[in-house]
Amino acid sequence: MLDIAKIRADFPILHREIHGQPLVYLDNAATTQKPQCVIDALTHYYQDENANIHRGVHYLSMEATRLYEHAREKVKNFIHAASVEEIIFVRGTTEAINLVAQSFVRSQVTKGDEILITAMEHHANIVPWQFVCEQTGAVLKVLPIDQQGNLLVEQLAAYLTPRTKICAITHIANAIGTVNPIKAIIAECHAAGVPVLIDGAQAIAHTPVDVQALDCDFYAFSGHKLLGPTGIGVLYGKKALLAAMPPYQGGGDMIRTVSFEKTTFNVLPHKFEAGTPNIAGAIGLGVAIDYLQCIGLTAINAYEQQLLRYATASILEIPGVRLLGTAHEKASILAFVMQSAHPHDIGTILDQHGIAIRAGHHCAMPLMAFFNVPASARISVSFYNTFAEIDCAMEALSEVNKIFA
């Protein structure tokens, strides 16, 4: 059992007021709030430890390097990677996917080759592949979903052809919360000789991830969705694949020797980390991982599922609500529309009650088109939320109906 009161005390922002009401933060799929220990780690780094890494012989530089590399070690252990060489620090999930698209996929595909994604992807797992298609003449294929938001896994075999060069799929869909059976999907792709990238942006804070057990080729996630700072994220890649890939960006840190005639590149993981990275961000992410592990992702997942069940039952009692995404297995995300009001009006009315939810297309416009809605409202719950906060949101949704009665 989680001690929610104690957990909430760790998050200073949860104690502020919005429009004179206590903040009810239900937009966790967009970004999570930060515990005091993460905020302190950033301050402490800039106050006492700031220096550039991998360069200086002076004490501070060595200390900053040690802290940065220690954060990499924490990430490696967190997702059960085989080695720290497989952990590339990037700006976030978006950059991680772009890196794989340009460095791994682009050089391998030619006109008519296929890139497979799904109908529930975030724009970050659509647009980078469209770039590769434009650059090479490759074709984007989209594995469909059913009306409940379940991936039509039984159709996967038909979508895996000799021309499929990569399958890029989300672990948990940000807009509707579907949890995909990625282990089985990865196995099926591998049987067809297709490498797999998993977009783990939504999953990483809600479910334990073991990249070796999954056997995924790449796994991408953002620090800010798991209590860490913005501007830091991770690309996990299998060492053999990363080693064979050309660098993504050129600059300092990623080189071994530079002359005007010939440059040689640094070893993994530094080959993919050109320029001074987000050192404080990486350290903050390491602290966020410590914090999450201290609470335990299994306990977090169990509690969030309780909140999801409670919220789902509650929202269906409100007249005129239609849920988008009712997959068999779901994370703590409730996407919905109301007969009486547009999502933006819902968002504004809830905001006046101090309740933060997302309203819009959730960076998944093709999915909105699939459900035939221009936009939707989304409640996304984290382990620091309470049943009382769900009640609060439901009361405000009832008021939406009253205003537009």
Residues at the site binding other proteins, with contacts judged by CB under 8 A = 19, 341-345, 348-349, 352-353, 359-361, 365, 368, 374-375, 399, 403-404
Between CA 159 and CA 325 the distance in angstroms is 23
Nearest to 197 by CA among 157, 233, 155, 241: 241
* Neighbour count for residue 143 (Cβ, 10 Å): 21
* R_g over Cα of the chain: 22
Cβ-based neighbours of 79, under 8 Å, separated by 6 or more: 204, 209, 210, 211, 219, 234, 236
Is residue 115 a contact partner of residue 129, using CB atoms and an 8 Å limit? yes
Cβ-based neighbours of 120, under 8 Å, separated by 6 or more: 145, 149, 151, 170, 173, 175, 176, 178, 364, 367
Q: What does 201-255 look like in DSSP terms, one character per residue?
A: TTTTTTS---HHHHT-SEEEEEGGGGTS-TT-EEEEE-HHHHHHSPPSS-SSSSE
Is residue 31 a contact partner of residue 204, using CB atoms and an 8 Å limit? no
Longest dimension (CA), the chain: 73
Catalytic pick among 167, 216, 363, 392? 363
DSSP secondary structure code for residue 400 in this structure:
H
Cβ-based neighbours of 91, under 8 Å, separated by 6 or more: 231, 232, 233, 278
Residue labelled with tokens 């997942």: 301
Nearest to 390 by CA among 325, 329, 313, 326: 313
Between CA 305 and CA 310 the distance in angstroms is 9
Residue closer to other proteins, measured from CB, 284 or 354: 354
Q: What does 50-102 look like in DSSP terms, one character per residue?
A: ---SSS--SHHHHHHHHHHHHHHHHHHHHTT-S-GGGEEEESSHHHHHHHIII
Closest contact distance (angstroms) between CB of 354 and other proteins is: 11
To the query of whether residue 363 is one of the catalytic residues in this protein, the response is yes
Catalytic residues: 363
